[in-house]
């Protein structure tokens, strides 16, 4: 009996030692696939927000991703990012991920995103296969490749939506309702094209009347956690390029003046993108920002009064982040700031910018100069 037991243990140990190691089996599979064929990509544009399993469009990926929850919307988002990489532009910054996801119909936060670049037609790298292997079978994910001049650009994305909202329109007719499903303890918030805010409970579901033409921004929260945030385009065509990508891209700043120039260019670009008048830059209001930064508790009115603009109306936005674009990403897609962003009341601005080892520091003052 003891001999049989020892034999059983020995066999089990041998089986464990000789069994396939993850992601060894995936690597073996990848080695057998012909990667020289032209990649096939899903469309990066969607007319609706939807989530669901969709087989990869690229035949080479079909067997590699078998058993995974390959999401069609995330695949479209990854396609936009991979195509941009193949053209030598873009990356996986937060603002690029956010807008690629929305464009493809994914309204939830992106949990993870990775990119790899290999020679065209070559087997995907080991760390890519490891990433695929580690994603749980029930977690929405995507993996695509796009071919550049001499390389294959791979992008993988994953998401973990805490609540499924079902199909929602990304493009809608003027005057139509946006119907949201019940979310226990949930709340919806919406900023209309002028930035006016409204909100309601989602315990029994909700309905938002899309009464104005333009870009609406909708947010769903549950407790203190954001479930989803997404734009809805009412009576207008949705954007096909990221809002924060300048027509004439500027290099990442290496000094305070560089960061200041980029911030001013982005402010002009965003206002123009939404059809709002360009704000006037003024050294006087730059000085008002400096005054405000000495004593933020006194507010913008005191800072404006100190430079002779008594009674002038102003609002201040401050940001500390790793890039200028991240600061604008924080501001543009914050529902509370949409009214200031879209307003034609404010006609001027002041700005102070600094750059150090921790990142960029922006303080922006929007001013209604005529009110002072």
Domain-wise residue ranges, the chain: 21-158, 169-234, 256-371
Query: Helix (H, G, I), strand (E, B), or coil: what is residue 279?
Result: coil
- Residue 24 pLDDT: 52
Q: Which residues pair with 222 in a beta bridge?
A: 186, 225
pLDDT at 276 exceeding the cut of 90? yes
Tokens 């070559």 found at: 122
Confidence band for 311, pLDDT divided at 50, 70 and 90: confident
Residue 309 CB partners (closer than 8 Å, separation 6+): 284, 288, 367, 369, 372
CB crowding 83-104: b at 16 or more within 10 Å, else e: bbbbeeebeebbbbbbbbbbbb
- Identify the bridge partners of residue 152 per DSSP, sorted by sequence position: 118, 147
pLDDT at 22 over 80: no
- Domain boundaries 169-234, corresponding CATH code: 2.60.40
pLDDT score at 370: 83
| Architecture of the domain delimited by 256-371 | 3-Layer(aba) Sandwich (3.40)
pTM of the complete model: 0.89
- With contact defined as beta carbons under 8 Å apart, do 140 and 71 qualify? yes
Q: Is residue 275's pLDDT more than 60?
A: yes
Q: Which runs of E-coded beta strand occur in the chain?
A: 48-49, 69-70, 112-119, 140-147, 151-158, 168-169, 171-172, 177-180, 186-191, 197-201, 206-209, 214-222, 225-234, 280-281, 313-321, 348-356, 359-368
pLDDT band for 51, please (50, 70, 90 cuts).
Answer: confident
Q: Residue 313 class from Cβ within 10 Å (0-12 exposed, 13-18 middle, 19+ buried)?
A: middle
How are strands ordered across the β-sheet holding 171-172? 171-172, 225-234, 214-222, 186-191, 197-201
Radius of gyration of the chain (CA): 25
| Residue-level pLDDT at 23 | 43
């Amino acid at each position: 009996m003891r001999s049989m037991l020892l034999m059983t243990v020995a066999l089990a140990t041998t089986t464990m030692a000789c069994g396939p190691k993850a992601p060894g089996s995936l690597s073996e599979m990848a080695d057998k696939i012909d990667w020289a064929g032209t990649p096939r990509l899903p469309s990066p544009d969607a007319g609706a927000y939807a989530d669901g399993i969709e087989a990869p469009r690229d035949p080479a990926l079909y067997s590699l991703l078998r058993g995974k929850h390959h999401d069609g919307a995330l695949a479209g988002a990854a396609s936009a990012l991979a195509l941009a990489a193949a053209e030598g532009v873009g990356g996986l910054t937060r603002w690029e991920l956010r807008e690629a996801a929305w464009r493809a119909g994914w309204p939830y936060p992106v949990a993870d995103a990775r990119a790899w670049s290999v020679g065209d037609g070559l087997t995907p790298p080991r760390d890519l296969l490891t990433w695929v292997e580690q994603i749980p079978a029930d977690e929405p994910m995507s993996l695509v490749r796009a071919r550049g001049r001499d390389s294959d650009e791979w992008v993988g994305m994953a998401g973990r939506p805490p609540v499924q909202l079902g199909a929602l329109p990304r493009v809608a007719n003027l005057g139509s309702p946006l119907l949201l499903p019940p979310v226990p303890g949930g709340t919806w918030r919406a900023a209309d094209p002028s930035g006016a805010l409204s909100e309601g409970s989602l315990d029994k579901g909700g309905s938002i009347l899309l009464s104005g033409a333009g870009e609406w921004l909708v947010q769903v929260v549950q407790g203190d956690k954001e479930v989803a945030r997404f734009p809805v385009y009412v009576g207008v065509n949705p954007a096909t390029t990221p809002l924060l990508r300048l027509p004439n891209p500027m290099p990442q700043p290496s000094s305070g003046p560089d960061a200041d120039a980029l911030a001013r260019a982005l402010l002009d670009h965003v206002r123009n993108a939404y059809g709002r008048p360009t704000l006037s830059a003024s050294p006087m209001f730059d000085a008002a920002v400096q005054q405000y930064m000495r004593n933020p508790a006194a507010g913008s009115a005191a800072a404006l009064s100190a430079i002779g603009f008594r009674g002038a109306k102003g609002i201040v936005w401050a940001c500390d982040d790793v890039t200028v674009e991240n600061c604008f990403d924080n501001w543009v897609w914050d529902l509370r700031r949409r009214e200031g962003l879209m307003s034609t009341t404010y006609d001027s601005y002041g700005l102070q910018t600094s750059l150090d080892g921790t990142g960029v520091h922006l303080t922006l003052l929007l001013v209604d100069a005529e009110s002072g």
